[in-house]
Copies of this chain bind each other. A is one copy, B any other.
Amino acid sequence: MITYNPKSWLGLIFHLTKSDTLTILWKELIFIFIFTLGIAFFEIHFFADAVVLEKLFAVYSILGFVLSLLLVFRTNTAYDRWWEGRRKWGELVNDSRNLAVKLTALELPAEDDAYFARHIGNFALCIKEHLRNGTKFELLNLTEEEIAFLQKLDHIPSGIVELMYKRLNDLKKAGILSEEDVLRLDRNLNGFLDCVGACERIKNTPIPYSYSMFFKKFIFTYVVTLPFAFVVNFGYYSSIIATFIFYVLVSIEILAEEIEDPFGNDDNDLPTDEMAQRIQGIVGTILDKE
């Protein structure tokens, strides 16, 4: 995620970054510009009496309305996924902190505090990678045995949670934790797998296939035929106008695609790297105080 000041206008208007739709679409914009010039040339020189097309504008106006509403629907659903992804990571932060704080207040042996500090941090680092290309063990702080244990599993995050639940049960058996302490800690530890499940859902379920296909077909047909309606009215100027409308409409769809899966490394993706490191850092200072 790019950190920026949302109130700085000039900086944002005249700035181009990798994720700017201008950077992404410049080839298509040039194509539409030249394409419209060509249509203008033909209409002006060969079909100068195509007045019937003049009224076409009203049709594009109605369809433009439907298209705008659909694009806003698209933007809304994409943004909701992005924001839900952020909210779920926020809940993981909360549960991690609450778990660490409750554990440290229980004054467990130092070794156990270190164990939980290690694995709460591991969990955040693990799911960050899990939501990209799969977890790499070398990023995590694991013992040899733990690696051997986790390698046997399909789903690494569940394994890390299991390691924590096992230690809780051991401590309960040893009489260090009461039954009710475990109940209270379970409130937060239970949330760890809820977070990873929700993020997997966002990652693996894009907008239904037929919608994606229909939106693309509609936008494509609309912007590619638009020049026919413009040339009669604006002549060669049409190319500027058609290019701008193309830029606006396609940008909205492109942006929605960008933020729909928010767990990658793109400019608009959530800062999961930093969040995982913050969880590790904060939990560390809470639990390892010596």
Contacts and interface: CB of A to CB of B under 8 A. Distances in A.
Contacts of A153: 282, 285-286
Contact of A6 (B9, B217, B221, B260): B260
Contacts of A112: none
B210 A21 contact: yes
Range for the number of chain A residues in contact with chain B:
35 or more
Interface in A266-290: 267-268, 270, 281-282, 285-286, 289
Contacts of A72: 69-70, 73
A91 interface: yes
Interface of A: 1-2, 4, 6-7, 9, 12-13, 15, 17, 19-22, 52, 55-66, 68-73, 75-77, 79, 82-83, 86-87, 90-91, 93-94, 97-98, 100-102, 104-107, 152-155, 158-159, 161-162, 165-166, 168-169, 178-184, 186-188, 190, 193-194, 197-198, 200-201, 205-214, 216-218, 220-221, 233-235, 237, 241, 244-245, 248-249, 251-252, 255, 257-260, 267-268, 270, 281-282, 285-286, 289
